[in-house]
Chain A
Amino acid sequence: MTHEIDRRGFLRCMAWAGTGAVWTVSGGLLSGCSLGAPAANKPAAPRTSDLSFVQISDSHIGFKGAANQDVTGTFGLAIDQINALGARPAFVMHTGDLTHTSTPEQFDTVKQMLGTIHAGGVFQVPGEHDAATGDDRAYLGVFGKGAVGNGYFSFEQHGVHFLALVNAVGTLGMGHLGKDQLDWIQKDLAGLSSDTPIVVFAHIPLYAMYPTWGWSTDDAVQALSMMKRFGAVTALNGHVHQVMSKVEGNVTFHTATSTAYPQPKPGEAANPGPVTVPAPQLHQVLGVTEVRYAAKKSQVAVIDTPLRP
């Protein structure tokens, strides 16, 4: 059940289902919704969906540590879960940290595994671990085709405009887009009608989630200010290895879980980094994020599902 609220630019209510968060954007306006019990283990979501896509993140292929001794295995489980979806997603977006230390072998493994995904397309943006020494040539050599600058690009599906941004390479402590990319964003958005739904992908959150740990993008405000005229903007990020959500003005922010290991909640540890949970719990703190769009109604549902072992 949904109930729609018609006051522009304000989040009025947001409800969570057991299987994930669901927001409704109606006519470009964010609406509250409350969900009954999901039927037959299916996540509650808009009944009609013109477009569905999947976000996965932070696979850290090559990680060696107690937090996950088989990151390739859990990444494989995430892919299996995508391939088992009832409807083939329009595309899958990996929001970075594909690899842990950006070696050619790790990129090769990731590329081969991404190639087994059943979807209309597979895209990615880099995380800082994909250019671990600050050098992104290995990443761009494998994944840079068709991208602009250091790997950003945009595309459209079903009337939704998608931006895939790079904010994790060559930064100095937190996310950074840089002038070249900001100029490109301005040009990229220039011809769009203001009722176009916008979805922005980037590795590091595009708001000040927890700057002490670098969980922020220092020039995100400049990018988001270029999007103020649009009715609904959805920013989907990774980096923090946990689901965090926030709505501000016309922007809904959402971070995905990792497919590799969890990190502490902001400020609940002395520092960020891999958290080792008891083995039986690991899959429950990893997952995939499915996003469904009903373009005509401008409804979007973001559904985070834990990995199934």
Chain B
Amino acid sequence: MPKRTLQLVVAAGGAALALAACGGTSQQPPGGGVPTPAAPPSSSSPAAVDTTTIAIANFAFTPAVIRVKAGATVTWTNLDQDAHTVAISGSPVSPPLQNADTYSRTFDQPGTYSYLCTLHPTMRGMVVVTAE
């Protein structure tokens, strides 16, 4: 019985969709109307935070921008159920991180290192490495 109830809910949603379609007017241009992708979060806007630990939570790297001294080791911890990766430009991609997995990387050279999650590339972050 619970199964049927759920199906009816799904069916009702479908009916609403069908009615909208039956109206004969489509709000979208023919052929799919794929819009431009949402702009990725700007990695330069948030202020850099002095920390070596980054949480991956709710499909975001937090803090998105950190500042560390050369030689520091930065650790990412995935708090989401879904898997994520840390792909730092110019470096091999981290292994996929399951929930509670961590990934660490030592930054020896000063510079600005941007990174993203290869599974969800709108997730972006940046590590700013300053001279000791």
Residues on A close to B: CB < 8 A? 10-19, 21, 32, 63-67, 100-102, 128-129, 132-135, 171-174, 206-208, 211-212, 214, 216-221, 224-225, 228, 243, 245-249, 251, 270-274, 276, 280-281, 284-285, 306
Contact = CB atoms under 8 A, between A and B. Distances in A.
Contacts of A211: 34-38
A131 to B, nearest CB: 8
A308 to B, nearest CB: 9
Interface of B: 2-4, 6-8, 10-11, 14-15, 17-18, 21-22, 24, 26, 28, 30-38, 40, 58-60, 80-83, 85, 87, 93-96, 98-99, 118-122
Contacts of A11: 21-22
Nearest to A65: B81
Given A102-B96, A245-B14, 17 more contacts: A11-B21, A18-B7, A18-B8, A18-B11, A100-B98, A101-B83, A134-B87, A171-B121, A206-B32, A218-B37, A219-B34, A220-B34, A221-B32, A248-B30, A249-B30, A249-B31, A271-B58
B32 A207 contact: yes
A281 B95 contact: no
Contacts of A245: 14, 17
Give the dominant DSSP class at B's interface. Answer: loop
Contacts of A228: 31
A134 B93 contact: yes
Contacts of A134: 87, 93, 118
B32 A66 contact: no
B14 A21 contact: yes
Contacts of A129: 83, 119
A253 to B, nearest CB: 9
Give the dominant DSSP class at A's interface. Answer: loop
Contacts of B118: 128, 132-134
Which has the most chain B C-beta neighbours within 10 Å: A11, A225, A243, A276? A11
Contacts of B82: 65, 273-274
10 contacts: A12-B24, A15-B18, A100-B98, A132-B83, A173-B37, A206-B32, A208-B28, A214-B37, A221-B33, A284-B7
B96 A133 contact: yes
A133 B22 contact: no
Contact of A280 (B2, B30, B80): B2
A29 B47 CA distance: 56
Given A66-B81, A271-B59, A208 B32 contact: yes
A67 B2 CA distance: 19
B33 A207 contact: yes
B59 A273 contact: yes
Nearest to A274: B81
